[in-house]
Structure 1
Amino acid sequence: MAVTPTIISSRANARVKQLRAAFAGNLRLSEGFVAIEGEHLIEEALRSGITPHVVFVSERREASFRLPEKTEMIVLSESVFTSAAETRSPQGIAALIEPRRYRLDEMMQHPDPLLLIAVGLQDPGNLGTLIRSAEALGAAGVIITSGTVSQWNQKALRASVGSVFRLPVATCTKDEIHSLSSRGVRLLAAVGAANAGVISAQHADLRRGCAILIGNEGSGLSDEWLALATEQITIPCPGPVESLNAAVAGSLLLYEASRQRTTTTLRGPATDMERIPNMQPRRPTGATR
């Protein structure tokens, strides 16, 4: 006979406090664990080789996928689950995972690595989108600087749609980033206007090792970061706009780098056609993914 699990209905329960701290990004109180919410994100974590430490399920919800045997499952009352989750409409299932930690050296294992550096990004949606774009377009990793929102922020997690579980993301100091130049990686500062000395993205050589710097949503890259860069690049915009959204700009530059690195041009008598070799099939994605 199946045993009916005990439903935790106290907000003061130690496990509930741990989940609440993880959702709030308090690694000390969560004992180093990060919270992820929703069946899709948990499935992505499992698919990426991450075993959840514990899964929390609302009393009105059941997990529709198989969990590893060593993963603990805890059932919470609806009100307790809602009190712990950060979203306005909780999905009724969440998990605690141990975040993977990466170092810059791990990204440098790639020949001519393509990197993206987020300098002071504040919008977690932008960071999550850039991490997703970086994985999709073949980057070796994403570097975040001090003052940039955490990749484990709940909105960043959702925007990455699981890419944060697989793509190396590391927090680096300015000195570590500066050292990339001596390791054969050029620092390319993304700027909004084509001033003197600024190179259009399609004319920049993005085949060799390079790291694209994307600045803060409001102020962009400071003079200090611009001085650190090897070159400044921009995305030509024929329309009357001052600048592009940080995630859009970074994604377009990553695409241009990917295009340069992977396309071969077939020339015929009447047309030029670009083909990308070894294209991988993509799963259909919805608006929420």
Structure 2
Amino acid sequence: MLENPRSPRVRAVAKLTKRSARQETGLFLLEGPQAAREGLAFRPDTLVEVFATPSAMERHQDIRDGAKDAGVEIVLTTEAVLDAMADTVTPQGIVAVARQSPSALRDVFAASPTLIAICEEVRDPGNLGTIIRAADAAGADAVILTGRTVDPYNPKVVRATTGSLFHVPVAVGADLAEVVERARAVGLRVVAADVEGADFLASRDLLSEPTAWLFGNEARGLEDDALAQADLALRLPIYGRAESLNLATAASVCLYETAFAQRAAS
């Protein structure tokens, strides 16, 4: 039983809430039973260890069994130790450590994608996590992070994906110009989501074709040089009095509309 919240082992895990520690170790945190369950189900090879209170192991025997099958060590801890490790106030009795496993850009495009999301300087962790989750739900082939987009292994991003980080390929640290070039080379049309773009409804028929959506910063949108790299820019209509849509909400609509169009055409 791990009981001391100030032990070196506990501190090493707690440091993974910081980007510098994640970059140095190549590890990241999974907080709560759902995140651990998804990791064990879809990428058990990335799980390093699971920390859990005895009561949590009793409640979540599937996680105990999954860790055993994958050869992943389970370390029993006190609540105080879990609290010291986690980024959240209530980690629900389980924290796991996993190895980062970003996808290579060449592998994303070698798979002949028909729908991808490109995130250019998306800074809010909740937005990025929700976009990854929406891309997964819409059946997108990948999410590619360019510019200074937030680290996808940030604990807030990981929580917001609710496990989708393990379902859809995510490429990181890519150069936007290279991504656009590769996208066009495999037959994708690059469509920017932009408030100054053309009417979405007038151009939605184009979405039945292979599409790479380009989403920009929450506050500034896409810079002019980034916007200029797209083949087309579209805006979602606002029918009510809202000033605009949240980035993740707009991205979800764009991805789902494209998924609908592509499936209707197939």
How does the TM-score come out when normalised to structure 2? 0.88
Matches within 5 A, 1:1-289: 6-13=1-8, 15-25=9-19, 26-28=21-23, 31-51=25-45, 52-58=47-53, 61-62=56-57, 63-65=60-62, 66=65, 67-69=67-69, 70-111=71-112, 113-171=114-172, 172-179=174-181, 180-194=183-197, 198-201=198-201, 203-204=203-204, 205-263=206-264
Report how far residue 21 of structure 1 moved. 1.8
Shift of 1:199: 4.1
Matches of 1:24 and 1:60 in 2, distance apart?
A: 28
Secondary structure, in 3 states, of the residue corresponding to 2:96?
strand
- Bigger relative contact order (CA 8 A; separation at least 6): 2
CA distance in 2, matches of 1:166, 1:105: 18
State which structure, 1 or 2, has the greater radius of gyration over its C-alpha atoms: 1
Structure 1 residues 91 and 223, CA, compared in 2 at 3 Å: closer, same or farther? same
SS in 2 for 1:100: coil
- Unpaired runs of 5+ residues, structure 1, are 1-5, 265-276, 278-289
* Counterparts of 2:232 and 2:44, CA distance in 1: 38
- Give the SS at the match of 2:178: helix
| Counterpart residue number, 1:271 | none
| Alpha-carbon distance, 1:203 to partner | 2.0
CA shift, 1:258, in A, is 0.7
Contact 1:124/1:155, CA 8 A, preserved across alignment: yes
Amino acid corresponding to residue 95 of structure 2 in structure 1? A
| Native 8 Å contact 2:123 2:218 kept in 1 | yes
C-alpha distance 129-10 of structure 1, shift in aligned 2 (>3 A): closer
> What TM-score do you get using the length of structure 1 for normalisation?
0.81
Query: Could you list the per-position Cα deviations for residues 14-59 of structure 1 after superposition, in whole angstroms to 9, with x for gaps in the alignment?
Result: x212211223332255x32111011111111111132421111135
- Partners of 2:2 and 2:78 within 8 A in 1: yes
Report if aligned partners of 1:100, 1:165 keep a CA contact under 8 Å in 2. Answer: no
8 A Cα contact 2:2 2:81, kept in partner: no
**Cα distance, 1:10–1:123 mapped onto 2, change above 3 Å:** closer
3-state SS of the aligned residue for 2:22? coil
Q: Number of paired residues?
A: 255
Residues 241-272 of structure 1 deviation map (CA, whole Å, 9 limit, x = unaligned): 332110111110111101111126xxxxxxxx
How far did residue 112 of structure 1 move?
Answer: 5.3
Instruction: Measure, in 1, the Cα distance between the counterparts of 2:200 and 2:103.
Output: 32
CA RMSD for the aligned pairs? 2.1
In 1, the alpha carbon distance for the partners of 2:148 and 2:2 equals 40
1:184 aligned partner, one-letter code: G
